[in-house]
Amino acid sequence: MDPRTALGRYGEDVAARLLADAGMTVLARNWRCREGEVDIVARDGDALVVCEVKTRTENSFQHPLAAVDRAKAERLRRLAERWTAEHGGPPPGGVRLDL
């Protein structure tokens, strides 16, 4: 496995643990469809949470939103719609995108 892939997997492992520790249920990791991939899909109470994980190697802090441009945000929204369509529709608590 190349270092970049290993770093990404490490970040997703840490994120999944943090979500579980916060009381969320991880439903899927690296869920893929024709339109792309979602790093983590989780349930927080009655809300669905679509998570985009960004792992950095630099020591300097960059806000996660800086890594998600308008096109990426739109793609995540479409992927969330696709997930809900394939898994019984949106939950009562709605859908949230987390970075």
* pLDDT for 68: 76
Which pLDDT band holds residue 1 (cuts at 50, 70, 90)? confident
Helix segments in 22-98, DSSP class H: 70-86
The model carries a pTM of 0.87
Contact 42, 90 (CB under 8 A): no
**What average pLDDT does the segment 6-19 reach?**
93
**What average pLDDT does the segment 26-52 reach?**
96
What is the extent of the structural domain holding 53?
A: 3-98
* pLDDT for 22: 97
**What average pLDDT does the segment 15-28 reach?**
97
**What average pLDDT does the segment 19-44 reach?**
96
Per the structure, the count of domains in the chain is 1
Q: What CATH number is associated with residue 64?
A: 3.40.1350.10
